[in-house]
Chains A and B, each alone.
Chain A
Amino acid sequence: MGCFALTGFSQIQKLEVQTPFSFSVYSLNNGLTVILSENHSLPLVTVVCAYKVGSAFEQDGKTGMALLLENLMFLGSRNIGPMQHIRYIHRVGGELNAITSWDRTIFSQTVPSNQLPLVLWLESDRMKSLNLNYTHVEETKTLLVEMVKNQKIEDPFRESLLKFNQLLYPEFAYHHPLTGNEDDLKNITLNDVRDFYETFYKPNNAVLCITGDIDEAQTLRLVRKYFQTINPSKKRPPAPVFKGGYKQARSVEVMTNKDVSTPGFRLGYRIGSSYSNDFYILSMIDYLLFFGKSSRLYQRLVARNKLALRLNGGIEQRIDLASFKFFVLSNNEATKDIAQKALFSEINRLKSTLVSDRELKKIKNMFKSDYMGHFNSTEKRAMFLTRYFLSGRDLSDLAKELDRFLSVSTPDIVGIMNRYFTDNYVLIDIRTQ
Chain B
Amino acid sequence: MTKRMKRFHATPMIFLGLIFFFTTVLFGFAQEKFRKSPPLPFPLADFDFPKIKTSVLSSGLQISVVKRSQQSFIDMHLIVMTGESLSPDDLPGLASFTSNMLFKGGMGLSASQVEEQIDYIGGDFSVKVFPDYSLFTITYLKEYLNDAVQLLSNLLIQPDFSKNEINNVKRDMYYKIVRNTNPELLGKKLLFQIIFENHPYKKYIFNSSVIKDLNRKDLVTFFDKFYRPNNSKLLFIGDIDLPTAVRITNQNLNQWEKRDLETYHFNPPTPKTKPKICFSDVAGAEQATIFVGNVLPRSDLHDHFSYLVFNQILGGSHVSRLFMNLRETRGYAYWAYSHLEHFQDCSVFYVKAKVKPEYLVPSVSEILREMRSLSQNQIPNHEIEQAKSYLIGHFPIQISGHNEFSLKVSEMLALDKQGIYGENYFENIMYVNSRTVFESLRKVSFLNPVVVIVGDKDLVLEHITALDEVEIFDQEGVFQYKLKNKRENNSLL
Q: Which residues of A contact B (CB under 8 A)?
A: 20-21, 41-44, 78-79, 86-88, 90-95, 110-118, 121, 124-125, 128-129, 213, 225, 229, 231, 291-295, 299, 303, 358, 361-362, 365-366, 368-369, 372-373, 376-380
Contacts and interface: CB of A to CB of B under 8 A. Distances in A.
Given A90-B318, A229-B32, A377-B400, 10 more contacts: A20-B70, A20-B72, A43-B46, A78-B31, A93-B394, A111-B393, A114-B43, A125-B35, A294-B116, A377-B402
A377 B402 CA distance: 7
Nearest to B320: A90
Contact of B119 (A21, A87, A366, A368): A366
Contacts of B12: none
Contact of A112 (B115, B119, B396): B396
Interface string B109-132: 000100110111111100000000
A129 B31 CA distance: 10
Interface of B: 28, 31-32, 34-47, 68, 70-73, 112, 115-116, 118-124, 139-141, 144, 317-319, 386, 389-397, 399-402
B120 A358 contact: yes
Contact of B42 (A42, A113, A292): A113
B405 to A, nearest CB: 9
A293 B110 CA distance: 13
Given A79-B36, A94-B393, A376 B41 contact: no
Contacts of A117: 39-42
B397 A110 contact: yes
Contacts of A86: 318
A365 B45 contact: no
Most chain A CB atoms below 10 A, which of B41, B116, B122, B401 = B122
Contacts of B317: 90
A292 B72 contact: no
Contacts, number: 146
Given A293-B119, A372-B72, A93 B397 contact: yes
Contacts of A379: 400-401
Nearest to B47: A43
Contact of B45 (A43, A231, A293): A43
Contacts of B386: 91
A294 B391 contact: no
A222 to B, nearest CB: 9
A124 B34 CA distance: 12
B389 A92 contact: yes
| 5 A-B pairs with least C-beta separation | A93-B393, A93-B394, A369-B122, A43-B45, A365-B122
Given A93-B390, A294-B115, A118 B41 contact: yes
A162 B35 CA distance: 44
Contacts of B124: 369
Given A114-B43, A373-B73, A93 B391 contact: yes
Contacts of A378: 400
B45 A112 contact: yes
Nearest to B123: A369
B223 to A, nearest CB: 22
Contacts of A372: 72-73
Most chain A CB atoms below 10 A, which of B45, B118, B319 = B45
21 contacts: A20-B72, A44-B396, A91-B390, A92-B389, A93-B397, A94-B397, A95-B397, A114-B42, A116-B42, A121-B39, A229-B32, A231-B28, A292-B119, A293-B112, A294-B115, A299-B112, A365-B119, A368-B122, A369-B124, A373-B73, A379-B400
Given A42-B396, A229-B32, A369-B123, A293 B115 contact: yes
A295 B115 CA distance: 10
Contacts of B141: 365, 368-369
Contacts of B397: 44, 93-95, 110
Nearest to B119: A292
A87 to B, nearest CB: 6
A114 B44 contact: yes
Contacts of A110: 397, 400
Contacts of B390: 90-93
Contacts of B43: 114
B45 A114 contact: yes
A337 to B, nearest CB: 24
